[in-house]
Amino acid sequence: MTRQIPVTVIGGYLGAGKTTLLNRLLAEAQNVKLAVLVNDFGSVNIDAALISSRDGETINLANGCVCCSIGDNLGLALHDLAERPDGPDRILIEASGVADPAKISHYAESHPRLALDSIVVVADAETVRARADDKYVGDLVRLQLAAADAIVLSRTDIVDAETCRAVRTWIETEIPGARLAASHDLDHGQMFVTRTFESELPLDGAALRAALAALPADVVRAKGIVRLIEAPDRHSVLQFAGRRWSLEPDTAEVGPLERNRSVIVCIGLAGSIDLARLDACFAGVLPSALPAALIDELHQGALRS
């Protein structure tokens, strides 16, 4: 199967701190080749210390990352990156400060090699509440926040602790289930960390659904192909993003090496996700939590199939 390129959309209102986040991601990218698509370079101001060369609408960085000016041709730019044999490991799209990041995210479905990973919205801890109540831009700011799989609070270093707590409480009230992190909590060299759960035996479907409904707030995305005890002869596709999840039968052909295997990958914000809590969440899903006799019976069935 061809490797898919994860696409992350970074949104947020004008001046929220998207540029600062992008520069840190580019500066500290470790063994990850990023491609950043932006509306125009004038609004991004890529750190001059990172730039190795410029070629038309492309800025090349010394660490192998690139930034491309897209104008109105986001779809074409994504298609070009997806078709490259030496394409990036991850694509970041910096949405305009007045754009709806949810609409931008639909472009991640424009090519079979692309897959939407998450929508990250940057919110200025100092001004986001005032902007959300503004009669002119308030609806847009709230729309951006509601679209987020994860909300990163910026400028938490210039507000006091009480203000920061109040902003967090306000966001959690306005956007129930919001995944929140402060920008200084993130390991910008690795914006996301992953946890993979694998099993050669069918999973408990009821326990899996309960685990998905109870995933910690710092999990922004989960996906997988799983075989369930109640339907061991076929796979199901698991999708989790933000506060939405689904578990649906898969219609695609499964190769013989993957026929009995379940794989679930969870993605969280680096420096924020509690991996021990995540492991505990899936403890009742994996076959090791099932009765020994049932495990043995399922294992024998897997060997015969």
Look at residue 1 in the predicted model and tell me its pLDDT.
43
Beta-strand relationship, 34-38 and 90-94: parallel
Sign of CA dihedral 68, 34, 42, 97: positive
Look at residue 22 in the predicted model and tell me its pLDDT.
83
With 60 as the cut, is the pLDDT of residue 291 above it?
A: no
Sign of CA dihedral 130, 131, 136, 138: negative
With 90 as the cut, is the pLDDT of residue 303 above it?
A: no
Identify which of 111-120, 130-139, 277-286 has the greatest average pLDDT.
Answer: 130-139
With 60 as the cut, is the pLDDT of residue 273 above it?
A: yes
The token pair at 57 is: 């609408």
Beta-strand relationship, 150-154 and 180-182: parallel
Q: Sorting pLDDT into bands at 50, 70 and 90, what band is 124?
A: very high
Q: With contact defined as beta carbons under 8 Å apart, do 231 and 285 qualify?
A: no
With 90 as the cut, is the pLDDT of residue 140 above it?
A: yes
Residue 283 CA to residue 122 CA, distance in Å, equals: 33
The token pair at 293 is: 């006799």
Look at residue 102 in the predicted model and tell me its pLDDT.
92
Q: Sorting pLDDT into bands at 50, 70 and 90, what band is 304?
A: very low
With 80 as the cut, is the pLDDT of residue 288 above it?
A: no
pLDDT, one tens digit per residue, over 222-268 is 888 898 888 877 888 888 876 678 888 886 555 544 556 788 988 87
Residue 113 CA to residue 87 CA, distance in Å, equals: 10
pLDDT, one tens digit per residue, over 177-232 is 777 876 765 544 456 677 888 888 889 888 999 988 888 877 878 888 898 888 87
Alpha helices in the chain (DSSP H): 18-27, 74-83, 101-105, 128-133, 138-147, 161-174, 205-213, 275-282, 292-304
pLDDT, one tens digit per residue, over 33-91 is 888 898 765 556 777 777 777 776 787 877 788 888 776 688 888 998 999 888 898 89
How many other C-beta atoms can be found within 10 angstroms of the C-beta atom of residue 238? 23
Instruction: Please measure the distance between the N-terminal and C-terminal CA atoms of the chain and give it in whole angstroms.
Output: 22
Closest CA to 120 of 139, 93, 98: 93
Look at residue 109 in the predicted model and tell me its pLDDT.
82
Chain centre distance of CA 166:
26
- Which domains are delineated in the chain? 5-185 (3.40.50.300), 192-304 (3.30.1220.10)
Look at residue 195 in the predicted model and tell me its pLDDT.
85
Higher pLDDT, 255 or 295: 255
Residue 251 CA to residue 164 CA, distance in Å, equals: 47
Residue 106 CA to residue 100 CA, distance in Å, equals: 11
Closest CA to 180 of 157, 149, 158: 149
Q: What DSSP character marks residue 43?
A: G
Higher pLDDT, 262 or 289: 262
Q: With contact defined as beta carbons under 8 Å apart, do 272 and 181 qualify?
A: yes
Across all residues in the chain, what is the average pLDDT? Answer: 80
The token pair at 196 is: 């993979």
Q: What percent of the chain has pLDDT over 90?
A: 22
